[in-house]
Structure formats: C-alpha cells, structure tokens
Structure 1
Amino acid sequence: MMKRKAEKQQSAGPVSAIAARKARQQQAQTVTASKVEVVVEAAAEPPSKRPRRSLEGDQLTGTNGTESKGRQTRSSKNQEVPIALDTTTGRPKRATQANPSETPSHAPEAEEESENEDSDENIVDGPEEMNEDEVASVAGDADGYESPTETPIEMQNFPLSKARLNKNSIVYADESVLCIRIKEKTNLALMGQYDLWVKRGVVSLMGAKLPPSPRVYRVYAPSTHSLPIIKCVSGVDGEAEVQIKSCNSGLSRLRDVSPLYQKIWNGQNTAADKATLKGASKNSRRSFSVLYSSGEDPLKRHLRPLHLDKKWSASMKALSQRQGSLRVLVCGPKASGKSTFSRYLLNHVLSPAPETENGFTNTDGVAFLDLDPGQPEFAPMGQVYLAHLRAPFFGPPFTHPSLDSRDGKILRAHHIGATSPKEDSDHYALATMDLLDQYHSLLAQYPQCPLIVNYPGWIFGQGLEVATWLVKCLGLSDVVYMSEKGPQEVVEPLRFAANEARVPMTILPSQPTDFVSRSSAQLRSMQIQSYFHSSHSTDISNPIWSETPLSRTRPMAVDYAGSKQGILGIMVMGSQISPDMLREVLEGAVVGLVAIESSSAITGASSSGSIKAPVDNSEDESESTADHMDMDSEEPQVKSLDSLSPADSIVRTPEGLPYLFTGSGSCTPLNPKASNCLGLALIRSVDVNSQKIELSTPVPSSHIREAIEQGHSLMLVRGQLDSPNWAVSEEYYAARAAERRYQQVVARAKKGGESAADQTQHNQTLALLRDRIRRASNVPWMKVVEDNSRHQREANARREKSLWKLRKKAYPGSDSEADW
C-alpha cells in the first residue's frame, strides 16, 4: 500500500499534492455520479410526496436527490435521506436513520402554520399529475407559491391508531354509520368527513374533551393537515362508545372546480372499512375511512396523526385553570404551531368535562381575537376580527371559512386589505383596539367569557414593537411564546414587556410539520375559494358548499351612480391608482364589503351625523339599495354622496365610479371605530352603460339588509390580497369534470350494450361537452398550456415577469392546477 502510494506520488511529476488530491476527488465524483444515475433511471415511479425547497439558486435538485455540486439535500424528520455524494471520498453515502418500526405512534406533528410573511417565496405549485401530496413548481410567478422539491421520498408505514376494530369493538355498522367501542388510553384515526356522537364515556378530539351528550359534532379530517385522533379518556367498564356517521357537506365536490381539493379526502375502502361493511352492497363507501397506519392509505400519502407535545398539554391545562379570567396572547415565529395551539386551547376551554377537570363549566363561550390577516381561522384572508364561539370546531380553516350559526358568530371585523399587518401597522393597531373595546362590551353580557388572541408570525422589527405594545395594553393574564429557540432579540423584549405588565410568560417548543402537501399560498387560496362557495342555512348549524363555478351563479348588481346609487364609494388601499385606471383595477378583484357607520369613518368628513343621504319621498318605499343589488330583495335605499363634505375628495372617474381619491392616489384607511367589514366580494364586471357593478359574495342578504336598516352605507375597499386566479379557471375545470363523468357513463353503457341511437346521442353529448371545454379555455387571463415540462414552465415564468396582468394556466390531460 505504501509502495502504490509512493508510485502515484512519483507519477504525478511536477503536479502539487493539493492538485493531485483535487483531481482524484473529481474523478471519483464523476464515476459515482454515473453509478447513481443508473440507479435513478431504474426507479421510474414518481414519489408520493415532495418536501419544500427553494428555486432561487441556479442549482436544481435532481431526481436522485443530488445537486449539481453533490451536496446533500435536506430531509424530513424520521425519513430516509436520499443518496448523496461524499465530497471527501467521492463515494455515495447514506445518512443514518432510526428504524421505522421504532418510531413512536404519535410523533409531534402540528399543522402547517400559514403565516403572512412569505412574499420572498416567489414560486408556484402545480404538477403534471397531481397526487394529493405531490406538487411541482415554477419559479418566478408573482403569486408567491412555495415549491416542493422533486426528490423522491421513501414512504413510511407510520402508525396512526392504537385501537383495532374487531367483533367485540363494533357495536353496529351499515353503509353510512359505524358505532364502535374504544378502550381507555387507546385511540383511533379517521380520514374524511363525519359526524361524531359520544354515547358513553369521555373522548378527546383536537383538545376538546367530549362527554356523553345528544350533541353531534362535525369533523373534517383532510390529508392536507395532520389527522385528528379520537382518544378514550375515560369510559364505562373501561370503554367509550361513539357513533361515526357519514355526512355530505358538499366540500369534497370542490375538487370539480379546483385541483387543490383533489385527493385530500378518503379514497377506496381500507381493510378496516371492509371489515365493518360486511353484508353491505359491493360499491358502498362512507365519507370517512378508518386507518391503522399510513401504509393503508390507498393514495399512498404521507399521513401523520395530530399530536401535542407534553409541554403543550400541560400549558393548556394550566391556562384552563384561569376559567373566566383567561386573557392569553399566543405569539411566536411563523410555522411554529401557533394556529394549532390556539385551536386546541380554544376547544379545550370550550368543552372541559366536569368529572375530569376542575368542575368549571363554560357557559359564556370563548372570545377569539384573530389578529392574523394572512390565514385567519374563521374568516377569509385580509381581515382581523373578534368571534364569539359557543362550541368546539374540528377541522382546518378552509372547513369553516366564515361563522354564522348558533355555535359561533363574528361580532366585528375590519378589512386590512393585505395578508400581513406590516402594510399599515397603524391601521392594524387601531383595528385591534377597536376589537378589544368590542370584547369589553361582550363582557357586559357574558362576564365569564375568556379571551384567546392569535398573533401572526410578524415578530421582527415593527412587528415586535406591536407585539410588545399589545402585551402592555391588552390587560392579559398570560403570554405564550411558541419557540424555545428564541431568537433572544425577540424573546427578551417580550419578557420585559410581560414583566412590566405583570403578566406571566410561557415559552413552549414549536411543533412544525415535516410533511406539507399544500403551501401557505395554496392554503389561502383553498380557504378563500371555500369561502365564496359556502353558505349557511338557517335550519342547520353546519355550512354547505356548492361546486357551481362562480361564473354560472347569479351576480348581485349594484348601482354605483344615479338616483339609486347603492354604494357610498370605492377605496384603494396600499397603492396609488389614477382615477382613469380604477375600472381596470376593480374588475376581477376581491374587495372588502364594509359598512360605514358614521361619517367619522372617512378622514376629512364631519365627525357627527350619518353619511346616509335622505331618501327621496318620491321613490317607492319598497325600493332600496339591496333592491338594486338583487332585484328580488326589498331593503331601504341609500342614494348618494351629497352629504359628504368636499374634503372627502370623492371624485368621479370617466366611468362615473365614486372614487375616494386623496393625496397622490392612495386612500387613508377607514376609521375602525366607525366601520365594520361584512365580508368579501368578487367584482365580476363594471357595466358602464347601466352604471352597475356585478358582485359575487357569500355575505347573506340579511346582513346587508340589517346594516342598511341601521342607517349604514356600503363601501368597497380594494386592498392587496392575492389575485383570485382560482376563479378564472373554475369553469374550465368544471367542464373537464363534467366530461370525465359523462365518459364514465358511456363506458358503463358500452359494457351493458348500447344501441346505435344511444351511441349517436352519446357522441353528440360528448361533442357538446368538449365544446364547453374549448370555450372555457379561451377566456381572458387564462392560457391552457399543453407542454407542462419543467423547462417550459420556467421559460413561461421568466417571460411573464414582464406582464402587467397575470394569466392563469390550466393543463389539459392532467388533474393539476399549475403555474398560478
């Protein structure tokens, strides 16, 4: 060995030792790279999950998990690391990993915290074929979508349930109902949608302890978030008995209008489902599935149970001891689990079982002050609000995008017009103080109503100043910070503010999720699309969803000028827009529908009196603003802007739009003390001839009628929310879904034998459906791209950086929605 080494050194001649070593390393890397490439070509099956990565650099991670310079890619926790090159030896190496069989059944797994400040993530998701957890990407799109990597990740058979169903544990079962017994200290994981009824014993679910009662709870368990676990806390003879029933809310049908909703619910029947469906028809399927492990998932997704850290559980129990005096602020870095902790704490405080807790029963509900406009829990993005909740909620935010039932209502909301409060921190602080005043008013009626404040991940710079200010002035009982890793420049000012206010501060470990199937921007898109497709019925407590594209629904027509004017004016926040460009800015935009309670809401107007103009007695009393919004409704009329002073700077655009134009074009935000956001609306068009604005909004007409009857006027506020690209492509995906369904009908007819007349009818119908797809693909701001290769997507992204208006891309031949 020494001789060979000497010979090599001698043969090197005048070459230095450092140069020789570099040459050997490069040669070894070249040989190893070719070997690895052969292995990758053999593994042609695409992965079922892709972890996030950034495309900002020039080096793209290859399908074998190695970069162009042989650096090892990042890997998720408890997961096999892809093959990488050892730059010191030139040989492939594999990182050590714990045995999957030794993995605990409940790993700390919190839902993805979809925080606001992701403007630096300039990437869009969308694969050629969209598995539930698999999303490709394009760099350079303006929507800021995060990009999962293309590195294959080995699937793990992760345990989900400790309980196993058998003849003794199944009380009864049919095609839609499953009644089971769960032993103490065991649990069961389900995926899908279902109604849960606790018949005996006490079970825990997402922080709530549910004792026996006639109450039925709706549970949503999609694969986009960690699965909720039903656990038996205490029972009769050591067992709890629960009934699980299928439900049909319509939420799963949103897959027909957006691929983001595809493959997120239960698939084919699992082994446990088949065991409980014996005797039922062959094609029976419930809206939920029982899973013992992630390996049993028919769609092979990365599923994990939703589990809390022990410190989280202890903190929640300690906070609940405060009972009606609880006033807690939950803050911390983004993606640290703040939303998960707030949701768990909310459910825990709302439903303590008297026999297992301190005897306190919450009868006044819980006030939830949501200060995260990026992805609020119970409202669409761009809002901060105060909600009064009377019952726990089980599901991610897009399953309850609004509140209007006996279980919860939004008492007051303010339209921030952005997904981050940093756009206008002063307006954000004023809105927060107004919501706090509303909470004090709520205490007059419900004196034992606790308060939970959810603060966004905006904790650096000015965000830290706002957070410390809130700690000092909100009158809190506790502060919870969701990261043990600091940073100290954030923790120390918060601790100092808490000490100054004599408020205890608790620091908890963060629980970020390792597997993410939807980015923050995608979750926001899912939530706002769910919001516009949802509705609340007066006779049921749970919302229902419609899969009808917004373009096929009847719009609300609002007069923006003339004697029957239905809106007070139009505002644009955060931008300087010329009056000549207002129409272009409004069409296709999401705006806030704000009720103006007095003239003091608008800067420069008189602080006294109402801004509602006197109603002309010559008009029929049955005519109203809402009458011109919707021809079938009858509400009092709001007419003009004549009562406003000239200082309001309301100008008329060339189209006659009432534009609240001040200074160089930007608008001063409305005063939160005299305004209230009713919800969001999508402006479909501005008709200059009839001087009407066509709106689509899920805001109930009763809320609009109530605001007008109280003498309030309506204002449309255009902010800086994400562009509603999902609305542009809904008709296209709905047309494709209709064609697929009809092709299945034709296929079944051919198997059963069809006549020539039936075949002719089928061909004619298919021709009509394909013509619908063609017409839906030929619309403004959307381009159907046949070539969805990575090279083509990156080229399109670079080209579209120079476009003033974005175009939505849709891909035929795949179930994906790519390149937003």
Structure 2
Amino acid sequence: MATPKRRKLETSEGSRPMSAFALRQQLLAASPSLSPAPQSEPAPESQASTPTPGRSPARTRPPKRTGNAERAEEPLQQQVAVSGSPKGQAGDGSSGLDAEAPAKPIPQQFSTFRPNKSNSRSYGIKVISGEVTVAGATIRPTDGIQWVHAPHCHGIPVVRCSDETTLELHPHPQAASLRKLERLSPLFRSLWNEPEETKSSKKRAAVDTYKIICTADDAPKRALIQDLRSLPAWNKKLAGLAKIKQDPALSVMLCGPKSSGKSTFGRILSNRLLTTPGQRRVARSVAILDLDPGQPEYTPAGTIALVQIREPNLGPSFTHVATDEQAVSIIRCHSIASVSPASDPELYLECALDLYSHYQSTCQGLPLIINTPGWVLGTGLDLLTELASSFKPTEVIYMSEDGPRESVEGLRAVCKANLSTLPSQQSEFTSRTAAHLRAMQALAYFHTRRSAPNLITWDPTPLTTSPPLLVNYKGRNRGILGVISYEYQPPPELLTETINGSIMCLVETVDPKAFGRLRGSIKGEEMDVDDAESSAKLEELVSRTTEGVPYIPNSDAQTLDPRHSQTLGLVLLRGIDTKAGALQMLTPIPLERIMAAKEAGHQLVLIHGKLDSPGWAYTEDLYYQSFGSNDADKDDTVEVMDEDTERDDSDKEPENPHLAGDVNGIPWIEVLQGHEKRPVGSRVWRVRRDLGRGAD
C-alpha cells in the first residue's frame, strides 16, 4: 500500500503538490457541463441551484436575459466565472492548480438579475417585455418607469425576473440632491455605495445613480447590508390577501411589538394590492391609515394620517415624507405633538377614530391597511383592542409568534376568528436607530422642494440660507391665532424661549368648536354663532407674553377637537422678531395651502408639545462648512449617538470635536474640548412616570 510520501515522490517532474481542494477544482474545470455559458444564454441551472445557507427560493431561478437594457449589457460570462469558478478558470488559460487556500463560502445571491455591476442607491425600472418583481410590486410594460431608492440603512430591494424579461434601468433624476444631504449631517453618509473619491468616479457619479448587487461579495466593504426579505409565511398570507374579493373592501390591521416587521409587511402588501391583476388594478389605489407617530411612512414624526397611494412604495420614508402629489395624497392628518401615544392616549384614540371616519366618507371601497405602534402592553394593548373593536377590520395580523401572550389573547378576545399571527422579522444589521431615522426624516422633510412632474427634490444647503416665512403675530389680522402647549404649559415669561428654535405643528381649525375644550367658561355650543361673534369669543381665549406673542393658556392640558381641526404640517421656528412682531418660520408646507386656509376664514394655531429637538438643524452649518475639507473624514466627523433619547450617550466625548468648526455666534451648540464633559443638568429633562413603581 502506497504511503503519502511515496505518492509525493511519484509525481511527474515539474508538477506541484496538489491538495484535495485543488484537485477538485481541476476536475470541475475539465467538466464541459460546468464551463461558463455564452452571454446570450442563461447561466447553468446547476450553478443557480447550488444550496447556500440563507438563500431565498427565488434565487434558484436562472438569470434573465438583459435584452435592451443598456446598463445590463455587461458580459454575463464574467459574472458566471466569478460565482461559479475559481480565479484563473474563466478562460485565461491558467490551470488553477495553485489554489490551495481554504474554500471560501459561496457568496449569497441577492437577485436573479445578473449583470456584473451592482445594485444600491436610486434608479428607475422600466419593463420592456415580461414583468419584474421588487418589494412586492409587480412591474409591467404598461407601468412606465418606477423609481427606487435603496440606501444601506434599510433592506435593499431585490429585483426578480424571468429569462424572457427585458428591462431598462434609468438614473434617478433626484438622486443627486438626495446624496448631497450628507453635507448637512453624518446620518446621510455612507448610505449609497459610492466608489472611492477619484476623478473618474466623480465624473461617473454625475451620471450613474445606482449599482447592482448580485452577490454579497459586491456589497460595500465598510457597510453591512441586508436584502429586503419576505418570509415564506408572509408570502403565503400575502397571496391569500391579494386574492380576497369581497364587499366591503379588504381592511387589514397590523399589530405587534417594536421592530417586528409591521411597516415592511404593510409596504409589501400595499405594493402587491396596487399591482395585482384584476378588479383592484382598475382602481389602482390603496388607503393607508398610519397610526404610528414614532415611525410614520408619509408624514413627519409626531403625526398620524390617512393617506391614499396610487403607485408602489419603493423607498424609505425620508424619500417621500412630504409628498402630496399625484402618486400620494394625504387625505387628513392629525398631530399628537409627541412621537408616542403614551403622552396622551385619549387624544391619540380620538384622532385615530376621526381618520377612520374620513376613510369611510372619502375612500369607501378602497383596500385599507392600518399600521399601529409597537406598544402592545398595558395602556397600549387597551388602545389596540379599542381600535380593533371600532374599525372591525376583516383581518388582524399580529406580527410575532412569541407573544406577549397577554397581547395576543386580548386581541383574540376582540377579533375572534379574524386574528392570525405571523413570524416577526427583525433586521440583522442596524446602522441607524429609530431616533436616527426620525432625525433623517425631519431633515429631509424640511429640505424638501417641489419639482415637476410629480417629483420632489432636496435643497442641500443649510436652512440658515433659506429665507423664512414671516408671520405677523400682532393685531387682529395676524397670521396665527396663538400658540397652544399640549401636556405642559410653560410660564408665560418663558414661553418665547421655550418655543424659539423648536419644531411645532401648524394646525388648521375648520370650526370654532375645535376650541371648546380649552376654556370651561366658553362651551363648544356657545361658539356655534356667526363668524363675527365666534372671532370675538376666540379672542377672549388669547393671552400674550411680554414680547406680545399670543398664546392660549392651557393649564388643564386640554387639546383641540380633532373632529374640527387638521394638521397641515410641521414648522421650525427659526427666530422671533419682537420689533417687527413677526415669527420667522421654516416649513415645506406650500404657501398656497396656508393662504387657502386663511382665505376660507379658518384659524391657524401652532401646537407646541414633545416632538424631538431639532439638533440636526442646529449643526447643519458646521457640518456644511467642514464637509470636503482635507483634514476632515466625512464618514467619521463625529460619533453618531442616540442623543436626547432614552439611551442618551451624550455625556461621551465626540471623536473629533475640532472638525466641527467655530461655533461662535451659533445658538444651542457647544463643542467639548479634550476630556471635557457636559455639566450636570445640561441634558434633556424628562418627566418620570414610574416613580414609586418598585415601592412596597
């Protein structure tokens, strides 16, 4: 019996010792069935069906022919060689016998689309023949160009298609302005898979707004990405919901803990309903009742809204947060002046019921998707059961199979046979927290600019360069009736300092009855008089600060009646000109919308509550000035922290505070030098609601 040593001596002269792995590679290279396919033919089925951990069934399909897609006409043979053969075996004549390194795991396949360049960023899909599926939406030749935004901080949408599909990929016309928001905040940096800064890359970036990620090896080296997935149980449920044909229309209420996949499932479901062939395609509309004030999809944080959508949703919320165009219509919006319904559960419930009432009157017959917050215990569960019993949806889906049991049983008692549970899907990689995403959404919201046709763009310059909207606050013909503080009423002498530099809600009151709760001596029915008398009675509610700013005292923590009011949007109070008697406001709300409310005789009020502090706005100038400097690292200018949240790490030292620039003359900004830390009491003060919870 030959020993290993003898086998080594018997090898032919000049040949190198060969490992088992190298021998296997040589045999594979010699097999004609595994050689790379020509460009015009799909990859071999054996390669596409190689078992890989974590791969979805859709990735077993053979790759498509790119047809007329100009960007997709890269040699397909190169991609097959990378994914199916070792280096040196794709036709360069090398034997591949020197490959003695350990076998690398087969890269995870993200898409059935097979060009050898990669996908992430912003682009448009136009189907020439066949059909393409992306984020639950089925795109056909009659759908025109569908625009996609795919940043790393969200799941990357997977493009799936068949062999016969021909499509075109188009650069996104608004991508450049969205990318430039990185000049204003590090939260928008390292999101788009940009190439390294070279002359050629800069020139190419002016034209290319996307890349295609076919495998995990194509992903950016410094980024953790995750493809947008729909679990098998989700797909089964989605298919069943899309086939339902009934009268009244389908209504689905999504419940579950935080980060369980409610928003993702709702987005996929809405895209599927919009693009499913049949009777729904004639209407081409879906109603969204977004009841999550912490992470809303189409409106800024702190609001809940009824929205009608006519096109698939193929981007994160900060890319369409201010839309009110042909594809998206905000039917009605309410603000609870907080990112959590816990601040005022009664107001939250009233606003939700009013939105549903408007759905019944204005959107009857449209499929309805109801998204709820992740508050599923205690008072949160009471709110969910109350909403479910009032809405009576045809389906209630709880996005977790792990409970809590109390929540599931409570909903089941109300919904009975209509409740079903689905497995949750939490993100494996999180580069942005919920607080970060709210800040990104707010920044994008206030930098939104309208552009035709039916597209929005973003202004990448600091808000300090934008002329503010001057609103007179003196006299009877002033622009606003006054300021109302929800939950906490600051002393009159501190009101102007409290609201200056803060974000507030601009609310339109369509009837004087909206103020009925704010003063016990003036009842709602007493205001049911003509305009002159109602205006006089409203003036009785108004007081003024020492600077003359009007406000409505609210020591009892009352609110406007949502049945007679609606929120137009958010405003950032940039400053108060006490000499001119004007408020300097920044807002993306169209001026014509504000003027229409005034011309209709409606009163406008500013609501001050517990919205997030706009720290992103205070630091825009500093980041803008330091962006692109030779001594500043754009990716690591400062440490991204959960500032002003429950997990506040703001006492930690920033990484490079000197890169922020000079802060002289800039309000609300401080830079810590060396080992300095914030003084005691400088962080956000919060009201504790659990005092004595652990007491005997």
Where does residue 317 of structure 1 map in the other structure? Answer: 239
Where does residue 198 of structure 1 map in the other structure? Answer: 127
For 1:741 and 1:160, locate their aligned partners in 2 and report how far apart those are by CA, in whole Å.
44
The one-letter code sitting in structure 2 at the alignment partner of 1:559 is N
The answer to whether 1:781 aligns with 2:685 is no
For 2:469 and 2:460, locate their aligned partners in 1 and report how far apart those are by CA, in whole Å.
19
For 2:362 and 2:204, locate their aligned partners in 1 and report how far apart those are by CA, in whole Å.
54
For 1:717 and 1:180, locate their aligned partners in 2 and report how far apart those are by CA, in whole Å.
59
The answer to whether 1:652 aligns with 2:602 is no
Distance 1:206 1:800, change over 3 A: farther
Where does residue 327 of structure 2 map in the other structure? Answer: 407
* SS of residue matched to 2:257: coil
* SS of residue matched to 1:251: helix
Which of 477, 481, 500 is the equivalent residue of 2:394?
477
Equivalent residues of 2:308, 2:330 under 8 A apart: yes
Where does residue 132 of structure 1 map in the other structure? Answer: none
Equivalent residues of 1:320, 1:326 under 8 A apart: no
Where does residue 266 of structure 2 map in the other structure? Answer: 342
1:316 Cα offset (Å): 1.2
Equivalent residues of 1:267, 1:299 under 8 A apart: no
Greater mean deviation of Cα atoms: 333-342 or 189-198 = 189-198
Where does residue 734 of structure 1 map in the other structure? Answer: 624
Where does residue 553 of structure 2 map in the other structure? Answer: 661
Where does residue 575 of structure 2 map in the other structure? Answer: 685
Where does residue 64 of structure 1 map in the other structure? Answer: none
* SS of residue matched to 2:508: strand
Where does residue 171 of structure 2 map in the other structure? Answer: 246
Equivalent residues of 2:183, 2:460 under 8 A apart: yes
* SS of residue matched to 1:796: coil
Matches within 5 A, 1:503-522: 504-522=418-436
**Normalized against structure 1, the TM-score is what?**
0.64
The answer to whether 1:642 aligns with 2:536 is yes
For 2:147 and 2:224, locate their aligned partners in 1 and report how far apart those are by CA, in whole Å.
24
The answer to whether 1:394 aligns with 2:314 is yes
For 1:705 and 1:612, locate their aligned partners in 2 and report how far apart those are by CA, in whole Å.
22
For 2:334 and 2:680, locate their aligned partners in 1 and report how far apart those are by CA, in whole Å.
34
Distance 1:606 1:677, change over 3 A: same
**CA deviation profile, 1:403-437 (whole Å, cap 9, x unmatched):** 21111111111111011101111111110111011
The one-letter code sitting in structure 2 at the alignment partner of 1:231 is R
1:662 Cα offset (Å): 2.8
Equivalent residues of 2:632, 2:659 under 8 A apart: no
The one-letter code sitting in structure 2 at the alignment partner of 1:713 is Q
Equivalent residues of 2:473, 2:479 under 8 A apart: yes
Where does residue 452 of structure 1 map in the other structure? Answer: 369
Distance 1:738 1:564, change over 3 A: farther
Matches within 5 A, 1:707-746: 707-737=597-627, 739=629
Matches within 5 A, 1:193-592: 193-232=122-161, 238-249=163-174, 250-268=177-195, 286-323=208-245, 325-352=249-276, 354=277, 360-363=280-283, 365-443=285-363, 447-499=364-416, 504-537=418-451, 539-592=452-505
The one-letter code sitting in structure 2 at the alignment partner of 1:476 is P
Where does residue 524 of structure 2 map in the other structure? Answer: 607
Which of 665, 677, 700 is the equivalent residue of 2:590?
700
1:778 Cα offset (Å): 4.7
1:612 Cα offset (Å): 9.6
- Give the superposed CA RMSD: 3.5
For 1:505 and 1:180, locate their aligned partners in 2 and report how far apart those are by CA, in whole Å.
50
* SS of residue matched to 2:426: coil
1:336 Cα offset (Å): 0.4
Matches within 5 A, 1:142-157: none
Greater mean deviation of Cα atoms: 777-786 or 301-310 = 777-786
* SS of residue matched to 1:783: coil
1:103 Cα offset (Å): 2.2
1:526 Cα offset (Å): 0.3
For 1:610 and 1:195, locate their aligned partners in 2 and report how far apart those are by CA, in whole Å.
53
For 2:119 and 2:618, locate their aligned partners in 1 and report how far apart those are by CA, in whole Å.
34
For 1:362 and 1:335, locate their aligned partners in 2 and report how far apart those are by CA, in whole Å.
34
Matches within 5 A, 1:48-67: none
For 2:559 and 2:342, locate their aligned partners in 1 and report how far apart those are by CA, in whole Å.
14
**CA deviation profile, 1:620-657 (whole Å, cap 9, x unmatched):** xxxxxxxxxxxxxxxxxxxx9634264x3x32111111
Distance 1:409 1:161, change over 3 A: farther
Equivalent residues of 2:126, 2:144 under 8 A apart: yes
1:104 Cα offset (Å): 2.3
The one-letter code sitting in structure 2 at the alignment partner of 1:239 is E
1:297 Cα offset (Å): 2.9
The one-letter code sitting in structure 1 at the alignment partner of 2:546 is P
For 2:222 and 2:61, locate their aligned partners in 1 and report how far apart those are by CA, in whole Å.
20
Where does residue 142 of structure 1 map in the other structure? Answer: none
Equivalent residues of 2:663, 2:670 under 8 A apart: no
The one-letter code sitting in structure 1 at the alignment partner of 2:54 is P
For 1:242 and 1:396, locate their aligned partners in 2 and report how far apart those are by CA, in whole Å.
23
1:710 Cα offset (Å): 2.0
Equivalent residues of 1:418, 1:721 under 8 A apart: yes
Equivalent residues of 1:106, 1:305 under 8 A apart: no
Distance 1:548 1:178, change over 3 A: farther
* SS of residue matched to 1:467: helix
Equivalent residues of 2:484, 2:554 under 8 A apart: no
Specify every segment of 5 or more residues in structure 1 that has no aligned partner in the other structure, as ranges: 1-99, 108-158, 616-639, 745-770, 807-820
Greater length-normalized contact order (CA 8 Å, ≥ 6 residues apart)? 1
Equivalent residues of 2:291, 2:352 under 8 A apart: yes
1:288 Cα offset (Å): 0.5
The one-letter code sitting in structure 1 at the alignment partner of 2:538 is L
Equivalent residues of 1:160, 1:293 under 8 A apart: no
Equivalent residues of 2:446, 2:587 under 8 A apart: yes
* SS of residue matched to 2:68: strand
**CA deviation profile, 1:379-413 (whole Å, cap 9, x unmatched):** 10000110011111101111111221111111111
Distance 1:101 1:263, change over 3 A: farther
The one-letter code sitting in structure 2 at the alignment partner of 1:248 is P
Greater mean deviation of Cα atoms: 294-303 or 367-376 = 294-303
Equivalent residues of 1:160, 1:304 under 8 A apart: no
For 1:595 and 1:679, locate their aligned partners in 2 and report how far apart those are by CA, in whole Å.
10
Distance 1:217 1:644, change over 3 A: same
* SS of residue matched to 2:124: strand
Identity of aligned residues (%): 31
Where does residue 84 of structure 2 map in the other structure? Answer: none
Where does residue 560 of structure 2 map in the other structure? Answer: 670
1:562 Cα offset (Å): 1.8
1:161 Cα offset (Å): 10
The answer to whether 1:598 aligns with 2:511 is yes
Equivalent residues of 2:67, 2:167 under 8 A apart: no
Equivalent residues of 1:161, 1:292 under 8 A apart: no
Specify every segment of 5 or more residues in structure 2 that has no aligned partner in the other structure, as ranges: 1-49, 81-110, 635-657, 687-696
Which of 112, 121, 140 is the equivalent residue of 1:186?
112
Equivalent residues of 1:333, 1:457 under 8 A apart: yes
Equivalent residues of 2:274, 2:284 under 8 A apart: no
For 2:263 and 2:684, locate their aligned partners in 1 and report how far apart those are by CA, in whole Å.
35
Distance 1:162 1:286, change over 3 A: farther
Distance 1:554 1:612, change over 3 A: farther
For 2:73 and 2:292, locate their aligned partners in 1 and report how far apart those are by CA, in whole Å.
38
1:441 Cα offset (Å): 1.1
The answer to whether 1:796 aligns with 2:677 is yes
For 1:215 and 1:494, locate their aligned partners in 2 and report how far apart those are by CA, in whole Å.
42
For 1:645 and 1:300, locate their aligned partners in 2 and report how far apart those are by CA, in whole Å.
59
Equivalent residues of 1:350, 1:362 under 8 A apart: no
**CA deviation profile, 1:18-61 (whole Å, cap 9, x unmatched):** xxxxxxxxxxxxxxxxxxxxxxxxxxxxxxxxxxxxxxxxxxxx
